[in-house]
Structure 1
Amino acid sequence: MRRPVLLTLLAVAATALGAALAVTVPALADAASVTNPGFETGTLSGWNCDPTDSVVTGHARSGSYALAGAADGGSTAQCTQTVPVLANTSYTLTAQVNGSYVYLGITGGASTWTPGTSGGYSALSVAFTSGSATSVIIYLHGWYGQGTYYADDVALAGPAGNPSPSASPSPSPTASPSPTPTTPPGNGSFPNPIYLMPLENNPQNISTAISASGAKNYNLAFILDSGGCTPAWGGDPAHPVAGDTTVTGVVSAIRSAGGDVAVSFGGYNGTELGATCGGSGALAAAYQKVIDKYSLTRIDLDYEGDDLDANMAVRFGAIRVLQQNNPNLKVSLTIPATTVGFPDSGKDELRQAATAGARLDLVNLMAFDYGLTNASDQVTSVQLVAEAAKNQIKAVYGIDDATAWARLGLQLMNGHTDQPSELFTVDTFRSLLAYAQAKHVGWFSYWSLNRDRACDPGVPHNWADGTCSSVDQQPYDFSKVIAQYRG
């Protein structure tokens, strides 16, 4: 069965800048000072940088030199510097950056980023208040696998602090540990999407479902190839995306109710577009047709069966093209679970996405159909599998626990699953809702709305039927639980 499952200075005139700063920063003779702000020493002196960072010519925004940060699959190419400040004082940090997914910020404080600068320099600017601190660590970095970024003309607007030995920047790249990398922008306002097959498995009226359950976010499944690299619902030639009106109406109803949708490509059955479209360009064009048709800002990639960890250079190459052409596009990758978290093939997909420069905003764990662990109950079993997956994300990306949880999606299945040893009741969902809230996972989801009703006892049903849950329940009981999750 299936689950068919992210330093022009702020562009204002000098007089306007002075006026703005006068509001929040005292007009003192001594201004805060960043050491080697334009890298014009021709070295990284004053900065504490990753080994992949260097100073180069030919890419400067002003002067002769610029920072070059080579963000590869294992590094964000971070540079930091400790700068003395006055306590309880307002400052504005700015820099000129050039590249994809460049971050500017204060360790443990405010930050900002750009998804891309269209081939030239642009400004990043972030305001902050020092609080009780007498020094701050400023940073610049890229993101895993996004390639080389350039930075120049770093500045900190505000009054000078009082340097002390502990606050002086160290020229040694290994003198102090780099701050934890800032996570990409994440999944945003989509914390509880329910999977829905809008044309298969006897879908409910979506307006009725929203009104009854309060659930407003949905992952619509699945887009497959109907032949010749043609996106269609369920891969059915009778339901090509290009001529669709039915799903368009579903999308409109969801958005009119204040919700949003993602579209999921793949699933367990049928032919996924990445297997037949040829190169990354053709595949990106096929995906783009779906994005344009439904004005999507989110897509979900569900590579299962023989598509799992297959043809990844083409698939993730296409996703990178899509993200370049759609800077606000959020991408989730769905991976089946095992009793020890993600399979090795799933972990390899994460690495290959980074190598290809494809950003994954969320990694969705299908926490069902793996067979129970040695835990005595379904809730504990899912918790063990989710913890393992979190640790795997943490290891692949080199991030901390909280960031790893925020990038992990937890997807359940209501009622009977394909594994007879598994059973998710409404009470199971409630217990796992509390767990998801405690961990602040990236999303809390389930397969599927089509099953959120009791089975008709007068009609034969499969063990894990696609149109009902096979457990005692009232309509939309499971969706009501998912709707409560806020991240």
Structure 2
Amino acid sequence: MLFRRHVPRTGSRRSRFLAGVTAAFLAAAGSLIALPGTAHAANLVANPGFESGSLSGWSCSGGSVVSSPVHGGTKALAGAVSSSDTAQCTQTVSVQPNTAYSLSGWVRGAYVYLGVTGGASTWTPSAASYTQLTVPFTTGASQTSVQIYVHGWYAQGTYNADDISLDGPGGGGGGDTQAPTAPSGLTSTGKTSSSVSLSWNAATDNTGVTSYDVYRGSTLATTVTGTSATVTGLAASTAYTFTVKARDAAGNTSAASNAVSVTTSAGGGGGTGFKQAAPYLYLGWGDPPSPSTVMSATGIKWFTMAFILSSGGCNPAWDGSRPLTGGTDQSTINAIRAAGGDIVPSIGGWSGNKLGPNCSTPEALAGAYQKVIDAYGLKAIDVDIENTDEFESEVVQDRVLNALKIVKQNNPGIRTIITFGTSTTGPSYWGNRLVERANALGANIDVFTIMPFDFGGGADMYGNTVNAAEGLKAKLKSTFGWDDATAYAHLGISGMNGLSDQQETTTPAIWTQIRDWANSHHIARLAYWSVNRDRPCPGGGVTSNCSGINQSTWQFTSITAGFTG
């Protein structure tokens, strides 16, 4: 393939995205049915049929108990889906490690989902009457609880759910019902503009405490095994209240600790202080130019160098074949640094054998990232997460985010960037999930960068790029609780100069508009694909070494160099 590209899987309407992923979801559902069966036991779900007349036992973002329509009994859940809320209801259930379970439930409505957070799930695109969904799964080697969920889909109308069952042996290791004591002495040990560090005294339990749940207000922020934690993704100059609860192996939960209130530090405009103008440079094709020549002509200081792939298993290499050190890539990096610049590697991309699916655990993937960091003493890394093998995989998405979390912990001061496709109005389902999971996992990502091209942009590439960026900003605000300034300061744009694969045209004038918008909103990062193509060839079509339009040599790079954030 000539270009790093992402086939448009989204349009300006969510319904277009949903139609585009139906086959993938149905295939996933089919594979779930093939899992082994479970040992039968009493239903482990509290208030499974909502017969209490309330949402007792469930935590719901939107919904109520109704008397009609029902599947069994006299009550059912009605999920009040809106254009911005899937009306998800969750419940945490104690389970046993290394054990097979079966989650099932009866649902009614369009695009209703049933699953286990961070694990297996299934869905129905349309159920005019109650339809049973079933999700078999097996717990991990040390897993003692699962969070089950049911939800609808944005703007698809109210859904119903009833008679939800988790079938399998209950957790508790012999019927332990004694909760741990409440943790004590909760205090703040440090803070930044986007994080708060906490510590507390250990709780006690008759069988032993296995973990601690840290709450930001009523929201579960993180779970740890020790007596300290750092809550990330917070807004600058904002007051937060934290509590901690202890859990044992049986899933018994203590009362809350004392509450501590902390106001985060001022953020210097709401952000991380990280600004990067870094167009892509690819040594794999397209007559790669001398970076020092480009730097001298344009004033650019950073390049995003593509692509780090797998050379087999969990081993990083340039394009999956060229070594990290001792080759042309290292000599190019040395030349850029000698000219006063620096690079951020792009790990992944649309095609090729990628590290995310090949590294079996977050720890292994973090180790692969670390090899790249150590090879060049990097200040930042970018994971370009695309295609069905990485972006559209729940397992790999979570693996990438957890690996980047480890990288941040092991490399103080390093900046982490994650780059992904978009619709013209903001993140797709998978983009929204990526942002949500980054928050839930405490990944502490510095910059979420969208690629507004090959996305159905049509003639108005400026307007649709801005709309896509505003959609991401709104998602960051709602997910992390940030204000506008903080959300913009965690946002990046990576465009495509000249003609895109879909014949979308970004002229130098349009790119200047985008650059000026990026500066006026103080976003974190501006990039484009690619410096190799930053040369004129009007009427040349979509090719690797020129833009296909009339422009000056290195004109897009010169414009990008004017990005200051």
Q: Same fold (TM over 0.5)?
A: yes
Listed as ranges, the matches of 1:21-60 within 5 Å are 56-58=200-202
Structure-1 separation of matches of 2:431 and 2:554 = 32
Listed as ranges, the matches of 1:369-448 within 5 Å are 369-372=454-457, 377-420=460-503, 422-448=504-530
Asked if 1:323 is matched to 2:408, the reply is yes
Structure-1 separation of matches of 2:497 and 2:559 = 11
**Cα pair 1:454 1:468 within 8 Å, conserved:** yes
Structure-1 separation of matches of 2:217 and 2:399 = 19
- Shift in Å, 1:319: 1.7
- Shift in Å, 1:437: 1.4
- Which of the numbers 436, 461, 465 marks the counterpart of 2:543? 465
- Shift in Å, 1:315: 2.1
1:168-223 deviation per Cα after TM superposition (whole angstroms, max 9, x unaligned): xxxx989xx99689669955454211111133322100110100111111111110
- Which of the numbers 552, 556, 561 marks the counterpart of 1:474? 552
Q: Which amino acid aligns with 1:195?
A: Y
Asked if 1:304 is matched to 2:448, the reply is no
Structure-1 separation of matches of 2:284 and 2:295 = 17
Q: Which amino acid aligns with 2:546?
A: C
- Which of the numbers 258, 270, 288 marks the counterpart of 1:203? 288
1:228-247 deviation per Cα after TM superposition (whole angstroms, max 9, x unaligned): 22211112x3x122x44211
Identity in percent: 32
- Shift in Å, 1:418: 1.2
Tell me the C-alpha RMSD between the 2 structures.
3.9
- Which of the numbers 374, 377, 398 marks the counterpart of 1:292? 374
Q: Which residue matches 1:344?
A: 429
Structure-2 separation of matches of 1:106 and 1:382 = 27
Q: Which amino acid aligns with 1:249?
A: S
Distance 1:317 1:76, change over 3 A: closer
Q: Which amino acid aligns with 1:440?
A: H
Q: Which amino acid aligns with 2:381?
A: I
Asked if 1:232 is matched to 2:362, the reply is no
**Cα pair 2:186 2:201 within 8 Å, conserved:** no
Structure-2 separation of matches of 1:202 and 1:73 = 55
Listed as ranges, the matches of 1:25-424 within 5 Å are 56-58=200-202, 70=215, 99-100=229-230, 107=237, 188-235=273-320, 237=321, 239-241=322-324, 243-306=325-388, 307-310=390-393, 311-372=396-457, 377-420=460-503, 422-424=504-506
Structure-1 separation of matches of 2:326 and 2:315 = 13
Bigger strand fraction: 2
- Work out the number of aligned pairs and report it: 353
**Cα pair 1:415 1:470 within 8 Å, conserved:** yes
Structure-2 separation of matches of 1:264 and 1:314 = 17
- Shift in Å, 1:440: 1.0
Structure-2 separation of matches of 1:105 and 1:440 = 16
Q: Which residue matches 1:111?
A: none
Deviates more, 1:195-204 or 1:339-348: 195-204
Q: Which residue matches 1:3?
A: 4
Distance 1:437 1:224, change over 3 A: same
Distance 1:179 1:325, change over 3 A: closer
Q: Which amino acid aligns with 2:462?
A: V
Distance 1:391 1:281, change over 3 A: same
TM-score normalised per structure 2: 0.56
Distance 1:141 1:401, change over 3 A: farther
Distance 1:54 1:354, change over 3 A: closer
**Cα pair 2:424 2:452 within 8 Å, conserved:** no
Distance 1:75 1:297, change over 3 A: farther
**Cα pair 1:215 1:482 within 8 Å, conserved:** yes
Q: Which has the higher contact order (CA 8 A, sep 6+)?
A: 1
- Shift in Å, 1:453: 0.5
**Cα pair 2:236 2:486 within 8 Å, conserved:** no
